[in-house]
Amino acid sequence: MYKTANTLPEQIRSRSVALLNRHLAGSIDLHAQVKQAHWNVRGPTFIAIHELFDKVADVVEEYSDKIAERAGTLGGTAAGTVQTAAERSFLGPYRLGVADAEAHIAAVAEALANFGESVRNAIDETVSFGDIDTSDLFTEVSRGIDYQLWLVESHRHL
């Protein structure tokens, strides 16, 4: 941890930075998975799904940035390399070779839902050890991921 005038105790800041880095890895992976879908979707709904995935990826990338910057704000180091994300991501691997829009929609929805669940758990965890501000960031991310999930799931055939 870097020296900072932030008045949160170092023990709390350290715990938050670890949790933020866990979600930074997940968000970097999530971004890459959504871009994988964006680049490879095919079918009659191509343009709508292609553009949707690009917008979802942009939102996820913004959350990666906010998560990383919060870690720095607390005196920590953001561990945001692709190699680190690959080692630490809690998301399941994205299946390569998928082209069908329905399969991509299902895969992206699952990744968003899994990331969202972990973020909701992080809200409670950061509150439990006394970092309300990081909890607030995770709440913002949770709301946004839920919204992106809704947009993606709205394209599923029922």
Ordered by start, the domain boundaries in the chain are: 10-153
Arithmetic mean of pLDDT, 79-98: 94
Q: Which fold has domain 10-153?
A: Ferritin (1.20.1260)
Please name which of 97, 25, 18, 13 lies closest in space to residue 63, comparing C-alpha atoms. Answer: 25
Residue 152: is its pLDDT beyond 90? yes
What's the pTM value of the predicted model, to 2 decimals?
A: 0.96
150 burial class (0-12, 13-18, 19+ CB within 10 angstroms)? Answer: exposed
Query: Phi/psi zone of residue 32: left (φ > 0), alpha (ψ -120 to 50 degrees), beta?
Result: alpha
**Contact of 20 with 87, CB cutoff 8 Å:** no
Q: 């680190």: which residue's tokens? A: 84
Q: Is the pLDDT of residue 151 over 90?
A: yes
pLDDT at 157 over 80: no
Backbone angles phi, psi at 100, to 5 degrees: -60, 130
What is the three-class DSSP state of 156?
Answer: coil
Tens-digit pLDDT profile for residues 61-82: 999 999 999 999 999 999 999 9
Q: What is the mean pLDDT of residues 82-111?
A: 94
Report how far apart, in Å, the C-alpha atoms of 20 and of each of 53, 59, 79, 122, 137 are: 24, 17, 9, 9, 10
* 158 band by pLDDT with thresholds 50, 70 and 90: low
Span 18-39, pLDDT tens digits: 999 999 999 999 999 999 999 9
pLDDT of residue 132: 97
